[in-house]
Structure 1
Amino acid sequence: MYRHTDGLLRLGGLDGAGLAVGDVDRTGDGTAAQGADRGHRQGLALCLVMVTLVMAAELFNTALERLADHLHSDLHPAIGAVKDCAAAAVMFVCAGAALVGILMLVAVLAAR
């Protein structure tokens, strides 16, 4: 969806500060500031979701490793592969959380 703003075609949606494109507080009632506050709260909520996902992945990894150790206490290549896959899943979740954090930081710095 495209919006026409100040003679430029912009992709519709939110800018880095959480303001809808074209939001200007012309009435003085603070509606543009409310949009920025909403964007800030959404960013914090996204960070909380990412932290929760990382913690859940770590807990699943720990549970899987302990179960594997309980079922087969000796070294076994298949058990090692299972543990490696579980650790890689945690790494991917952490990488996604880091990417979200970097993108949020870039958006905040670009809005200044």
Structure 2
Amino acid sequence: MRFLMMTVDDGTPQEQPDEALQAEMGAFIAELSRSGVLLATGGLDPRATHIVARDGKAEVVDGPFSESKEFVAGFALIETRTEEEAIELSRRFWSIVGSGRGTIQRVYGPEDTPTP
């Protein structure tokens, strides 16, 4: 099972992570990479290109967009045996980071059939 774990930035000023936090997060990421659980991770630019498709034709649009004070700031794509495992990894992440908000969503691929 694959899951996309996302962190949300709500515009609240964040302190720069200290060396100890960076080291702990680095060890956590290395552990997940070695085990094969972590498939990809990264931070996201708050600027985005918006696309609207109509009748098979896609175009870049400038808006209008509802005002948003938060955006997805980072992600990790993981592969676990169960959703509970994904939740536990998220708990470990937040125990290192401390505070914030995030989302976990199941990712379906061509080989998966979503079940309600």
Bucket of the pairwise TM-score, normalised by the shorter protein: under 0.3
Q: Which has the higher helix share?
A: 1
TM-score for the superposition, normalised by structure 2: 0.25
* Larger-gyration structure (1/2): 1
If asked which structure has higher relative contact order (CA below 8 Å, sep 6+), I would say 2
Q: Name whichever structure is richer in strand by fraction.
A: 2
